[in-house]
Chain A
Amino acid sequence: MAYVPLADQEQELHHPHSWVTKYVWSQDHKVIAIQYGSTAIFVGVIALVLSLMFRMQLGFPETFDMIDPSSYYQAVTMHGMIMVVYLLTALLLGGFGNYLIPLMVGARDMVFPFLNMLSYWVYLLSVIILLASFFVSGGPTGAGWTLYPPQTSMIGTPGHGMGIILMLVSLGVFIIAFTMGGLNYVTTVLQARCRGLTMMRLPLSVWGIFVATILGLFAFPALLVAAIMMTFDILLGTSFFMPAVVEAGQALDYSGGSPILFQHLFWFFGHPEVYIVALPAFGLVSDVLSTHARKNIFGYRMMVWAIIAIGGLSFIVWAHHMYVSGMNPYFGFFFATTTLIIAVPTALKVYNWVLTLWEGDIRLNVPMCFAIGFIFTFIHGGLTGLFLGNVVIDLPLSDTYFVVAHFHMVMGVSPILVLYAALYHWFPKMSGKMYHDGMAKWHFWLTFLGTYAIYLPMHYLGFLGVPRRYYALGTTDFIPESAQHLNTSITVAALIVGAAQLLFFINIFWSLRYGKNAGSNPWGATTLEWQTPDTPPVHGNWGPELPSVYRWAYDYSVPGAHEDFIPQNTPEASEPTVDTEHFDPDHDSSKADI
């Protein structure tokens, strides 16, 4: 059938009339993005406070009686679940995905604005259900964010009644919300790109979010399936996951279920999930690096292929979380191999980031500092991942603080650093104001050095063999007293870092009020979102004319160009083109602009 390219047909936009439809029931992707973002950050802060609470227990046992064993496990569980799902996934995809995709692909909005709005409100619902579990009798579940059966629903586990049910329901609702948003992002990227914007002209941010969304669409169902079957087990007495077990001396009437089956389902979601938070971070950081180094991202094609490769591989490594789970140990060979193979594409991304700095013209603005900090912590976290991936090394280290240190370095620090890099980088576009530089710098140093001070020593607790998910260490014959000093210093560092986050929030509010105007393109960036007629972009983004794209996203420091960047929507005629692969301006005959 005759088909009109979507970008050209005047998409009918739902035009807001009252304040309510503008900021509350809004269908504008930018407003929705900010709603998503602030909700995510709000729960993120709750999770942060929880972590500080149980850190107090670990750092100063006996001295604080605000947390008893059951509330310790509840705090740890909620902390983990909120941070991974309700903060990172929501902020990276719901927040940045929503804000950047339409702008970066030169569309007026997501293709399904209504569905998009729905997605946010359903997400909010899931958050409310989650928080509700803090107030039911028995409190939230304390089964660990992995929710392994049969423990989740047995008397020995905090929140084994209402708590776990609410947790499962909340996850289900979240998945519905994510699917609604996800379909939107994918379709928008595929169908709504403006004229001239080929897939390989997309900024890496879009690539990262795009692939991560696809991962999410196909990984979350595993969690949904697991959650449904577990709910059946708990409420309707089926035995999908529940084997014959004894509870306080009485045999329960379950039989034959397989707890391992749950673990397979959980990690079939769980491992892709960690890349769902990693890939968008990879994308965002690439754009920040390239912009502030005034240099094209090095090896763009390799970066795209690596994102796709990592996405694909991440579906066949899940059982590296189950080396010591009692599953058939022969799986170990396969999964150890696939797991370490992932290191190669990831390594290439790391190299290319560093090589982007090479021979660049680096501006150490705050976003850049965070981005470089990310490379450092991510390398550290990734390499410790190789220890755990190498199956035999996982034998002594599994379920110790080494694992905790690994995944915090790689997921609790790195993506957070990227998020801050991105927030500072795009804040001028979102608000039209520039952030307060001094405060931001302090925030960077405290967060970067502070988190490293938290997690580097934590690896050594792991080497010692300190187990994770321990309310108190008690006395053992192999852990020296000095381990407690480590724990104390970790807690102190965590308190400092936690407090330092206030700087960020103060900065935001201060800048919104007193920040000086940023102009439409303060960083001199090439990508479309910086080329909008007004800043912050208004509803519909582009005024009367949709933009057209004439070049890739990284024309920085093009030899002979008028400036050291050429926006994507600058026609080829008005700027020179380079044919040489490697062009060194220092021996450049035509120094047009210097």
Chain B
Amino acid sequence: MNFYKDVTDKSWERKGLLEDLASEPAFAAPPQKVALVFFLGVATVIFSLFTVSYFIRMELPDWTPLAEPGLLWINTALLVLSSVLFQWSRSAIRNRQEKLVKLTVIGGGLFALAFIAGQLAAWRELSESGMFLAGNPANSFFYLLTGIHAIHLLGGLWVWSKSSLRLLSGGTSEEIRLSVELSTLYWHFLLLLWV
């Protein structure tokens, strides 16, 4: 839709169906996608607010930066992989490679699961090295941010599990096209947040 053209239209002057302006859907996309985009907007606000708070809090005297466990790099790799796979499955669906679809979709999900497991490990590592949640503000923020991120991921995995189940129960890729497309988008977003 051309927003400017739309909101400057002197709508009382012309009668009729006005095919030239965005009546009916404003975006040539299924509503689920529009909604998702808005939701991503919301999630972005949440994370950016956390980040802003993080920086403001950082200015305060009692701040001590935190030593990130090496594990995080592995986890990042995992997340990247799962994102890539989802991307792949998307194109796979485009050109109807049923097998590949199964593989990539499920693979992508599994990698994501692995990522979460990795996170938990990282948390254990931290707390064992005596860096507890309340220890110092940096820790608090680390646990908080990663925690929220993981929750969002789990939310995504829920959708994923539904569609992969459909796949395994011999559904065609068409059925899950939408959910896969959306998950892909969502995954990239979460990856973005992560880095």
Contact = CB atoms under 8 A, between A and B. Distances in A.
Most B CB atoms within 10 A — which of A198, A218, A228, A575?
A198
Contacts of A256: 60-63, 137
A304 B42 CA distance: 24
Contact of B24 (A193, A200, A238, A258): A193
Interface stretch (B46-54, B123-131, B182-190): B46-54
A130 interface: no
Contacts, number: 163
Interface in A559-594: 572, 575, 577, 579
Contacts of B70: none
Contacts of B6: 198-200
B137 A239 contact: yes
Interface residues on B, range: 35 or more
Contacts of B41: 217-218
B137 A225 contact: no
Given A191-B31, A195-B17, A200 B140 contact: no
Contacts of A554: 12
Given A199-B26, A228-B144, A240-B57, A572 B16 contact: yes
A257 B141 CA distance: 12
B137 A240 contact: yes
B21 interface: yes
Contacts of A548: 17
B7 interface: yes
A225 B11 contact: no
A560 B35 CA distance: 44
Interface string B117-161: 000000000000000011001001000100010000000000000
A399 B15 CA distance: 53
Interface in A235-266: 236-240, 255-258, 261, 264-265
Contacts of A579: 13
B38 A221 contact: no
B7 A194 contact: no
A275 to B, nearest CB: 17
Given A187-B35, A194-B24, A238-B133, A3 B29 contact: yes
Interface string B12-50: 110111100111111111110011001101100110011
A111 B31 contact: yes
Given A191-B27, A198-B6, A222 B16 contact: no
Interface residues on A, range: 35 or more
Contact of B45 (A112, A200, A218, A229): A218
Contacts of A261: 53, 56-57
Contacts of B29: 3
A6 interface: yes
Given A196-B18, A577-B15, A191 B23 contact: no
Contact of A187 (B1, B38, B49, B57): B38
A301 B57 contact: no
A5 B31 CA distance: 10
Given A193-B24, A194-B24, A236-B134, A179 B16 contact: no
A251 to B, nearest CB: 14
A470 interface: no
A199 B31 contact: no
B72 to A, nearest CB: 21
Contacts of B53: 225, 229, 240, 261, 265
A555 interface: yes
A201 B7 CA distance: 10
Nearest to A576: B15
A87 interface: no
A198 B23 contact: yes
Contact of A196 (B23, B38, B45, B144): B23
B181 to A, nearest CB: 10
A304 B8 CA distance: 10
A258 B60 contact: yes
Contact of B7 (A296, A304, A551): A304
Contacts of A552: 11-12
A224 interface: yes
29 contacts: A5-B25, A111-B35, A112-B35, A183-B38, A187-B31, A188-B31, A190-B26, A190-B34, A196-B16, A198-B9, A200-B6, A200-B11, A201-B11, A201-B23, A217-B41, A217-B42, A218-B42, A225-B46, A237-B134, A238-B137, A256-B62, A256-B63, A265-B49, A268-B49, A301-B7, A301-B10, A308-B7, A552-B11, A572-B15
